[in-house]
Amino acid sequence: MAHITRGEAEDRLATWSRREIDNSDGRLRASAVAITVIHRAGVPGIWVLKRPASMRNHAAQFALPGGRLDPGETARGAALRELDEELGIALGDDAVVGVLDDYETRSGYLMTPIVCWVDGDPEITPNPDEVQNVFFVTFNDLAAAPRFISIAESDRPVIQLPIANSLVHAPTAAVIYQFAQVVLAGLKTRVYDLEQPVFAWK
């Protein structure tokens, strides 16, 4: 398991040359997700959600807390707001330790992953309209090797992460994998070329 401090995570993200996607033409819907480190009984991990089957978009898919930016809102502000709306966790900007690469989804979103850090294990209150299940995924779980498969519809590899007793796909899997690579392992891994399964294209 990777044992890193908040300071080490901040240093790795501060020296990371983040890949930004130009969305000045507004072709993509700007969104943000929160990759939130917590410590449960001293064990570090992150929250991963599963969406309800009743949702209009991305029903029953794995996700990170997040959503679209409101007018005039920053990615950091949106990630923290969505964390509060979906899990009932109110964090300040001081909880943010850095930002990973933008990821363009097949469904037309520009996803900005915001990395947050909490030293404890705060009590959560999941919003049932947006959250069916919440999984605590340890750093040790995140160290598991991903699977890469081919599909006929794309020449890009589809990533599958074996976490939460299932296989999690991109876009969620892509940004979690980059978190594990960049923050936990100190590597310089890009994920923009990792494909989503066809069911996530809409």
Name the DSSP letter for residue 183.
I
Residue with token string 């930002």: 99
Q: pLDDT by residue (tens digit) across 142-184?
A: 999 999 999 999 999 999 999 989 999 999 999 999 999 999 9
pTM: 0.95
- Long-range residue pairs from 102-105, CB within 8 A, at least 24 positions apart, any chain: 102/18, 102/19, 102/20, 102/21, 103/170, 103/171, 103/174, 103/175, 103/191, 103/192, 104/21, 104/28, 104/192, 105/171, 105/196, 105/200
Q: What is the mean pLDDT of the chain?
A: 94
Pairing of β 29-40 and β 66-68: antiparallel
- Cα(178)–Cα(77) distance, integer angstroms: 21
Domain boundaries, the chain: 6-20+28-200
* Domain at 6-20+28-200: CATH code: 3.90.79.10
DSSP per-residue string spanning 39-54: EETTEEEEEEEE--TT
Nearest Cα neighbor of 99 from 39, 162, 2, 13 is 13
Q: pLDDT by residue (tens digit) across 42-78?
A: 999 999 999 987 756 666 789 999 999 999 999 999 9
Helix, strand or coil for residue 138?
Answer: strand
**CA neighbours closer than 13 Å in the CB half-sphere of residue 42:** 0
Residue 61 has what pLDDT? 86
Nearest Cα neighbor of 176 from 30, 63, 7, 97 is 63
- Residue 199 pLDDT greater than 90, yes or no: no
Name the DSSP letter for residue 65.
S
